[in-house]
Amino acid sequence: MKRYFIDFEANGAPLQEIISVGIVSEDKEFSVYTLVRPSHPLDKYIQKITHLTDEEFAGAPSPHAVFSFLYNALKRDIGSDFIWDKCEFYVYGDGDVRFIQETMKMITDPEIYGFLAGLALNIKDFSRDTTRYFQTPRSLLYSVNYFRKDDIAEEKHHAFYDALLLLELYQNLPKKGTIGATINQIVSIDPKTNKKVIYKDIKKAAKTLAKDMSNTVKLENVQKKIKNAIINQSRYCKLRWERYAG
């Protein structure tokens, strides 16, 4: 199964059509970045955050040309005309589906319209995974920087840059059901609740974790670290435990 990570930048109201596309594969052997010529002048706010101007779109390809190229490039990369059962597409946030739907209004070619419709139906919103992990919604930038030790990422509103950040986050976020993800959910418990109730839950979870680790870590050490993490809710404690558990 091939995985692709996508980001779109879009124009402002009234028509939030796509104005740039960034996509990169999990192995980074496939990548595309292009501007997309909008049907309306750029919204001033969009110009401000993307640092793009109307002049830069004078020679940009049309939505039809961009998505026709992208569809055919994906088919070549996957090696099949039937792409939906052979790959996964990831975005961050629910805005991208809306951007695709707005752009579809500009498409008259049935094949390209069908490709965009399929993309809108099949893309996976990875922000749901980070919400489960942090127990609250977090931005792409916050989530990426949470796992970085240095070289903090900056907000650029650039489609290809954000697609690369999304790939980085996908690779760094502990997957659902792994030890790292389980630990983060445990230490997110409110320390103001009854400690005895918490400790019973933690003791039971610690036994499961020790078993998952194939007994490479002593049960009492697992319990001690989790209990200390709950008592001390500092970010350092959480990060220290995640590195230990991972």
Instruction: Look at residue 22 and give its three-state secondary structure.
Output: strand
- pLDDT at residue number 234: 46
**More confident: 86 or 3:** 3
Rounded CA gap, 225 and 243, in Å? Answer: 12
The whole-number pLDDT of residue 206 equals 60
- Of the pLDDT bands very low, low, confident and very high (cuts 50, 70, 90), residue 69 is very high
pLDDT: which is higher, 234 or 67: 67
Burial of 163 (0-12, 13-18, 19+ CB in 10 A): buried
pLDDT tier, 100 (very low <50, low <70, confident <90, very high otherwise): very high
Q: What is the pLDDT at residue 92?
A: 97
Q: Which helix (H) or strand (E) holds 7?
A: strand 2-10
Place 96 in a pLDDT band, splitting at 50, 70 and 90.
very high
Kindly report the average pLDDT of the chain as a whole number.
81
Cβ atoms of residues 219 and 189 within 8 Å: no
Task: Give the confidence band of 215 by pLDDT, cuts at 50, 70, 90.
Answer: very low
Model's pTM, two decimal places? 0.74
Reported confidence tier of residue 150, pLDDT bands at 50, 70, 90:
confident
CB contact set of 110 (below 8 Å; sequence gap of 6+)? none
Poorest-confidence range of 55-69, 112-126, 175-189? Answer: 175-189
| Cα-based torsion angle of the residue sequence 13, 158, 149, 147 in order, rounded to the nearest 10 degrees | 50
Instruction: Compute the C-alpha angle 22/152/138, nearest 5°.
Output: 70
Q: What is the Cα–Cα distance from 214 to 222, expressed in whole angstroms?
A: 13
Contact 19, 43 (CB under 8 A): no
State yes or no: pLDDT of 238 exceeds 50. no
Give per-residue pLDDT as tens, 20-45: 999 999 999 999 999 999 988 999 99
Rounded to 5 degrees, what angle do the CA atoms 122, 126, 132 make?
A: 130
What's the rounded mean pLDDT across residues 182-196?
50
As given in the structure block, the two tokens for residue 133 are 């992990």
